[in-house]
Structures are given as C-alpha cells and as structure tokens.
C-alpha cells in the first residue's frame, strides 16, 4: 500500500550538503501499522514527509497503491493527498474556529455536499469521543483532546492511509496511551493503514506490527516488532529497548557475580515462560538459578519476556544447563563474557 524505494533526501544548508535520509526502503501492506523509531535528527520526520511529498525526495520512488507519486501532476498529487490523512505533534488546528469547523472546513473545501456535512462531522467526532465538544475552540481543549480533533479531521476525509508524525510526543503518558488505543481502534475498525514515526519505544510496543530503527538517515535494523524486541541486534535498538525495560546491570556487579557462575539473560517469546525451565535446570544439573531482574513486555502481537539470572555452579554444569535452555527454545545471552 505504501512503498518507499531507496529514498534519499539531501538539503543544502550554509552551502553544506546534508543528507537527511540516505537510501531508506519501507513497505507497508494494507491494514498494517508500521513504526519508524529514532532519535531526533535521525531523519524520520523527513522520511514520513516524503510519503505525501510534503518533502520531495532527491532520489528514490514513492509508491502509493503502486502509483509513483513523483510522476503525478500537482493536480493529481492533490487528489492522492486527499486519500492520505496526516496527524502531527502539534496538532495543527485552526485556532480561530470551533472544533466543528476545524473538521467541517476541510470537508467543505474538498467538495463534500452541504447537506452531508453535519452527519459526517458528527460521525467522526463520535469516533474520537468528542461529540460534546463541537462548539468549543481548540484553546479550550487539553492536548489529548486537540489530537483527537486532529484525528477526526484526518479521518473525516475518509483516507485509506494515516501518517502520524510524532502524534503522541507532546502528550503525557496516560494521554499517549488513550491516543494509541484510538489509533488501534481506527486501524481495526476502519481498516486504515498507519505509518508512524516516534522516539518513544512504548508507541512501537503498543501498536506496531513492524518497526524500523533509524539512525543518521539510514534504517539500521528492521523487522516484525516481536522479533525486534526478542532479538535486538543493533546498539541503538538495544538503547531504545532499555527505555521501556531495565535490561542493564552494572559491569562491576556482573564481574563480581561471574566469579561464582554466569550472569545470563534469557529471552523467551510468546507463551513459554522461563520459570519451569529454571526449575528444571536446578533439578537436572548442579546449578542454582538466582533471578536478578525479570520483565515481560506486552506487544501488539505477543509477549516477550526477559529474565536476567545468575547461574551458580561449576563450568561443566553451567555448560550443560545452558545447552538445555537453548534446546527448549530460550534465547541466551551471556553478560560479561564467556564462562571460564
């Protein structure tokens, strides 16, 4: 549905050439939610603006339903844009008109008949849960409510695709959750395909099917969210994961503990939990598992669990125990080097 092929975008600033996006390809199928995560300056904002050509890529192709947007006339492009909704970090509502008019004006301008206007506005205000706020002005609303109005405005044009440019970044955690629930709802109930960018890992965790980690204009790691949470490879991905679950122990602690055994991180995906496996190894082998940290991350499509455990025992027993764990399908990562 959305296909970005080898997108490159360079800017000239103070006579220096800056590459904001450097050869990024993204493919979002109908009905999916994909997320691009990265620190500020990673180029993700430029990337999402390339999807509806608010920013024209220097190189590459932008395909929406197989149609290359770069080949369209400006008139044709306007029509395609009408089918792609977009929401923003700072909501971007008209300040001088009511909530109702914020939704009704774009509808009127895009040719919705006057008699259908009221029904349409009310329908989408209902969906975002703001029916009682139609007569208010944006300045009278909270941040979360303003974003809901912006979502209603985008949805009312009945797009197939929604682009979300840091839509929750200006909101507090609780409001963020409610907006994410709303995005999930419109994805499920209206079948809208969503591409979002964010710097918050919990946004990815809660609603994304696929994730792209971006750094210095490039995608450094990508894949289904579940896989990426279970097997983060790139240091940046790991850093982002650390923001939602404490995965790190201090080097000195690991060093001290490794004298009498092995500090190991066990990761399991889906239904298996680590506990029976740990009980099993203590029974079968001469090792004593000692849990240092544990957490469970609920993702949109499953669960990823992490247990950081100190396995006490001699080298031979440890090796056997680790092999056993590997065999039952638990991913193992030894912290602080190999066992001596």
Binding site for another protein (CB under 8 A): 52, 54, 77-86, 88, 90-97, 105-106, 109-110, 137, 139, 150, 153-154, 157, 163
Name the minimum Å distance from CB 136 to another protein.
10
Which three-class secondary structure state does DSSP give residue 87?
A: strand
Name the minimum Å distance from CB 79 to another protein.
6
Q: Is 241 within 8 Å of 229 (Cβ atoms)?
A: yes
CA R_g for the chain: 24
Question: What is the Cα–Cα distance from 36 to 215, expressed in whole angstroms?
Answer: 10
Name the minimum Å distance from CB 91 to another protein.
8
Question: What is the Cα–Cα distance from 185 to 66, expressed in whole angstroms?
Answer: 26
H or E stretch covering 61: strand 59-64
Pick 83 or 223: Cβ nearer another protein: 83
Pick 52 or 267: Cβ nearer another protein: 52
Question: What is the Cα–Cα distance from 204 to 29, expressed in whole angstroms?
Answer: 17
∠ CA 210-214-215, rounded to 5°: 165
Question: What is the Cα–Cα distance from 294 to 283, expressed in whole angstroms?
Answer: 21
Pick 196 or 219: Cβ nearer another protein: 196
Name the minimum Å distance from CB 150 to another protein.
8
Pick 94 or 286: Cβ nearer another protein: 94
Pick 63 or 80: Cβ nearer another protein: 80
Name the minimum Å distance from CB 35 to another protein.
19
How many Cα neighbours within 13 Å face the side chain of 5? Answer: 11
Name the minimum Å distance from CB 106 to another protein.
5
Pick 44 or 153: Cβ nearer another protein: 153
Question: What is the Cα–Cα distance from 229 to 234, expressed in whole angstroms?
Answer: 11
Q: Which residues contact 272 (CB under 8 A, 6 or more apart)?
A: 328, 329, 330
The phi and psi torsions of 139 (rounded to 5 degrees) equal: -65, -15
Name the minimum Å distance from CB 96 to another protein.
6
Pick 95 or 338: Cβ nearer another protein: 95
DSSP 195: E
Q: Please report which residue ranges of 83-142 form alpha helices under DSSP H.
A: 99-109, 114-127
Q: Is 310 within 8 Å of 261 (Cβ atoms)?
A: yes
Name the minimum Å distance from CB 93 to another protein.
7
Residues listed for the chain: 340
Pick 1 or 292: Cβ nearer another protein: 1
Question: What is the Cα–Cα distance from 181 to 292, expressed in whole angstroms?
Answer: 33
């Amino acid at each position: 549905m959305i296909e970005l092929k080898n997108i490159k975008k360079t800017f000239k600033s103070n006579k220096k050439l800056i590459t904001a996006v450097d050869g990024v390809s993204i493919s979002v199928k109908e009905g999916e939610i994909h997320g691009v995560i990265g620190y500020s300056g990673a180029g993700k904002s430029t990337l999402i603006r390339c999807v509806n050509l608010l920013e024209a890529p220097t190189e590459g192709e932008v395909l929406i339903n197989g149609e290359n947007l770069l080949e369209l006339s400006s008139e044709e492009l306007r029509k395609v844009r009408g089918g792609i909704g977009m929401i923003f970090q700072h909501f971007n509502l008209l300040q001088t008109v009511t909530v109702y008019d914020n939704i009704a004006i774009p509808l009127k301008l895009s040719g919705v008949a006057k008699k259908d206007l009221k029904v349409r506005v009310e329908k989408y205000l209902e969906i975002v849960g703001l029916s009682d706020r139609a007569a208010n002005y944006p300045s009278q609303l909270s941040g979360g409510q303003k974003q809901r109005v912006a979502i209603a405005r985008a949805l009312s044009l009945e797009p197939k695709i929604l682009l979300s440019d840091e839509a929750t970044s200006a909101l507090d955690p609780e409001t963020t959750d409610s907006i994410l629930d709303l995005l999930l709802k419109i994805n499920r109930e209206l079948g809208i395909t969503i591409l979002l960018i964010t710097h918050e890992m919990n946004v990815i965790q809660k609603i994304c099917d696929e994730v792209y980690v971006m750094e210095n204009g490039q995608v450094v790691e990508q894949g289904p969210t579940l896989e990426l949470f279970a097997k983060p490879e790139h240091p940046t991905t790991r850093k982002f994961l650390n923001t939602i679950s404490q995965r790190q122990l201090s080097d000195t602690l690991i060093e001290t503990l490794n004298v009498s055994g092995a500090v190991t991180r066990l990761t399991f995906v889906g239904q298996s939990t680590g506990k029976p496996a740990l009980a099993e190894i203590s029974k079968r082998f001469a090792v004593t598992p000692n849990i240092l940290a544990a957490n469970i991350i609920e993702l949109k499509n499953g669960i990823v669990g992490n247990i950081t455990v100190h396995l006490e025992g001699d080298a031979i027993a440890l090796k056997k125990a680790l092999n056993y764990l590997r065999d039952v399908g638990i991913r193992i990562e030894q912290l602080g080097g190999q066992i001596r």
